[in-house]
Structure 1
Amino acid sequence: MRPPRLRPADVVAFLGPSLSPAAARAVAPCRVLPPARAGDVLAVLPERPLAIALVDGLFDTTPSVWHRELLAALDAGVAVFGGASMGALRAAELARFGVVGVGRIAAWYRDGVLVDDGEVALLHGGAETGFRAFTLPLVQVRAAADAARRERAASAREAAALVAAAAAIPYRERTWPAVLGAARLAPAARTRLGAFLPRVPDLKAADARATVEAAAAFARARRAGAPPPPRPEVPPPPSHLRRARLARAASALPGGGAVPSGAVVAALARRPDAGRLAADGLRRALVAAFARSLGLRASDDEAAAAERTWLSRAGVPPRRRAAFLAALGLDEGAARRLAEDLALDARALALAERLVPDGPAWQEGLALAARLSGAWLEEALRVAAPPGGSPFDFASPRTRRRDPRGGRRKAGASRSQSPSSSQSRSRSPSRPRPRSPR
């Protein structure tokens, strides 16, 4: 039986100096993105890849990919494989949560052979250069020195001298000529190793290929019916991650385009009803957060029921669910959190009388909303008005109300006053006629 065919969107690979896009696609169909920065993983989750191969990532001059966004990927059902460089670091740090380390460098970090994140650091060019490496990572020096010792191109002392010299050179300046020049080696050894070391296969490139291959194998298994990765046992996403999602996650539109969520939020803020929308959303979010603070939790069944109700009211059939959520910039984890909030909101409202001391009854909530919205006055006038009567409009000073005798009278006029005269019909003959105001 032939293995399921992958789509390029099934695997997202963050690559730079460790492996070229062409080399990665030769391993498996994949979508190749530049080295990951903070928020880049969040940006791709609404598009629902099956696996992420995290290899290269930026640091120093820009915030690095966050641990919590990798956990968000797992929470969304997206497997995360890390190796070679930044991916190896994050895999070792998050192994207990389900991020899978791949390759020799990841194993070194996992086993404690390496502890310094500077071991994988190097200086490289930008996208215009293909992220070409300009300097040498310390892990490559270790691998090359070990290969030289195994093949008797270097003694144990010479291999150790190479690693010690390389470790003392800043990553921005570390090259083979700099390492050989700084190592305490005899001239003959320096010449011999200068010819041998650059030919040692690139360890990062090998681990990067293995990382892409592992991610592709998992994606094929998902296509064949395998379950998603286990959800990590972590608290709800903190505020900085929620806001980063709003800024970075993309809304994947049905036509194939994508719009950054940050651009959508900016457009929403310019709407005339932005304040009302924000107030409604904040109330729901606050009620759900308050319910959580009291220890209430929404079960999976309650969250699923809340989502079905929401989608049904929105007119979204089950077959269009994933596309609709993606267009809203929601990955599976974010969608589940939203559904949990809806379920907690409903439960808190149902428990309002007991949720706080001397809590409000359902009728009180109905009355408050009706008074604020105008529904109270509408219903009060409807209850009080005779059949066919006209509603009273407080907003208009020229409002007329129907006289019970069939005529029309000014708003606020006495029932005994004629519409054609300011004189009272019941005025006493001895009582002076009221003067009209001038």
Structure 2
Amino acid sequence: MVRTHPVPDEWVVGQLLRSPDRRGATRYEQTAWGRRYASSDGGIRELWLLSFGTVKKERSSAELAAAAHTVAFGVPSTAGYGEPYHPVEGLPATRTARPQRVRVVGVGCGDGGSAVLLDWDVEEVRERYTEHAVPALSRAVDGTGHVPGSSCVGCKALNGCTTLHRAPGVLALPPGRPRLRRSVSASDLRAHDECPAHFHLTRQLKLRSPRPESAAILRGRAVDAWLNERHAALSARGCQHMAGPEDPGNWSAGGHALIGDEARTGARMLTEHAALCPLNGLGPGEQVRVQPQLTCYDPELDVVVIATPDLLHTRGGGWIWRETKTAGNHLWEGRSLMRTYPQLALAVLMMASGILGGDSRRSRVELEMLYPNDGGLEELDPGLPSIVDEARTVIAEMAGPWLRDTSYDPNPGRRCGDCEALDWCRPGREYLATLPAPSR
């Protein structure tokens, strides 16, 4: 392979128009964030895309094509803060020459791994860019809609936004001292409740161990991905007659591959789901949303609250919020559902706030449990005061410490052995060192 060397200048594809176009723009610029490299003769250019942990391979065709186009046709440029780019002058011909070949390489800063995400000649770059990137870029520059989410945290127009649902008190806490606006989800609250240091390292600093996930977690992700794909394809027809994996002992979904006993267990869970699928018998006029992101705003706490149900659908005028979980053992009946799964409590409070609309008397939150040889369904009515009161208690007990925390102290325990942040947590490693070897 030809050796490449670092390039200091940004590669920019610019277009200057004689007069404003239909969008009122006179100048377009395309850049690609990353580390730039090129061969000595300029015939090969590379763009290295960095990830915090392991290599991020799940990048869209549009993203890769846009990056490759910038690398292939970009001109070495520079710009001051807030100013347009302009070409760097006085460079040798090898620095400004158009390459014959382009590579985009993914690099994992956590484990030092790398992977070539694409290796194309210039003609293939043109074709891929036209097919995949141009439509996506057109949608991006033409889009004027509002999509509430984590980006609302830094949005200067939030106070006047009419799209973001206002839900005062959704975290069941009284107004507190002002802090910088933040976002939070039920999984964030659960992570903080278990160990504030784990929350800070994985959720805020995005540091995760490159070690592979446990077999049970991987199986759960594969089952979840399989159901999402089928629900999106089946729409309102349901999974009652859904065919399972062709080979129950070796199948994959969403990039998660299972083999052997874990694959067969996952396949049985899919069979259990077929009878519990909420889309079975659903009328053709009902709405179905697979893993939608729901966002609301608590103006009293200045917190953006985010949830991603596994499935949302209407039935008879009401909304049904379905969460699906896989487990090796049945739930312990001595602990309430909402304390075991705080996302159910947050779902109750968000639905009670009216985020989905619809007939509240016909709406509910459901928990579907899938076991290796069994399945079950539990329901919560967000219209019952007793259910809402319990949900408020659960969320308040978790959100209060999270909202007040400024130090994120570790909470060492036996769960440290599976912690994603263990590589960056000395107290966790020291705790595990005190345990007998079989218990670590």
What TM-score range do you get, normalising by the shorter chain? under 0.3
Q: TM-score, normalised by structure 1?
A: 0.27
TM-score by length of 2: 0.27
Larger radius of gyration: 1
